[in-house]
Amino acid sequence: MLKVSTASINCKFDKKANLEKFLKCIDEAADNGAQILVLPEQALQGYLTSVVAMDCSGDLEKNEFLYQWENAEEVPAGPSVQAVIRKAIERKIYVCFGMTEKENDYKLYNTAVLTGPDGYIGKYRKVHQPADEMQSYYAGNEFPVFDTPIGKLGMMICYDAWFPESGRELALGGAEIILKPTATVHAFEDHHLEGDQGYYSYDLCERATALQNGCWFISSNQIGVCGNSDYFGHSNIIDPCGHILETTDHDEKIVYYEIDDVKKSVWMGREVRFAGLYFLKDRQPSAYKLQNGENEFCNNR
């Protein structure tokens, strides 16, 4: 039995305040018996004010890059990262969270960190970057999978889910549970999710990633307004068949689900073992001739 949890939290451009919220969430999840907690993308520093209208003016209070630069931390040596690691050890819980990572004092990455009862485990640097992210962050170049006592864990971040190669790379690496910190916003001001393209794409990509790869999938989204962005929450726990089992909806809270066996789910009315089932075994790589590297179609776009 594995009790998992995910949170939707409202972040600020205030690292100290966000860290305090992290530590409270970890305590709450641990108090409720959770063995893993997922927190949102860029939730330590706060995500970019706007992903499509980045302010790089000389005004320090408005310059997004300078804010991220001054508040970025090394992984795992940064003081806030160390605080989360210590809390995870204290509460004997696995924690995945998003942040701005600084490397060698000149590179920034949009990073997800994984820590647990025995300390720091590893990190994932976002590979696929939309719009103005590429003006702030270097891109990652791999999808690592971490073998832990609670299962094989892989991470992706937000926009990665729009690329089916992300989930498949993790599944081929043996991932049983995919963790996805995200910062996804309402596409329209009316906040009606039924017709909101941002939510529709988010929901579709998450469920498809779980289903097509036979993996459990846990996402964590920011909620509410931060900067010029209005996040819709809906942090989800999804089974390998693509069913949303628990969601935070449009609330700032933590939700939980007990997984009997990460290698099992129910497929077409019967219990089956999902690890490597169908979707990986029945692949035909020799027929996928255009998926590696550049091709004429991409070059002509």
Q: Strands 229-232 and 223-226: what pairing?
A: antiparallel
- How far is residue 41's CA from residue 272's CA, in Å, rounded to a whole number? 32
User: Exposure pattern of 207-242 as b/e (b: 16+ CB <10 Å)?
Assistant: bebbbbbbbbbbbbbbbbebbebbbbbbbbbbbbeb
pTM: 0.93
- Per-residue pLDDT at 239: 92
- How far is residue 68's CA from residue 254's CA, in Å, rounded to a whole number? 27
Residue range 2-299 forms a domain whose CATH class is alpha beta
- How far is residue 19's CA from residue 166's CA, in Å, rounded to a whole number? 29
- Per-residue pLDDT at 173: 94
- Per-residue pLDDT at 141: 97
pLDDT tens for the 301 residues of the chain, in order: 999 999 999 999 999 999 999 999 999 999 999 999 999 999 999 998 866 655 555 554 557 788 899 999 999 999 999 999 999 999 999 999 999 999 987 899 999 999 999 999 999 999 999 877 888 899 999 999 999 999 999 999 999 999 999 999 999 999 999 999 999 988 766 667 777 788 899 999 999 999 999 899 999 999 999 988 899 999 999 999 899 999 999 999 999 999 988 876 655 555 565 555 667 878 888 898 888 766 666 655 4
Question: Burial level of 156, CB count in 10 A (0-12/13-18/19+)?
Answer: buried
Choose among 260, 258, 180: nearest CA to 218. 180
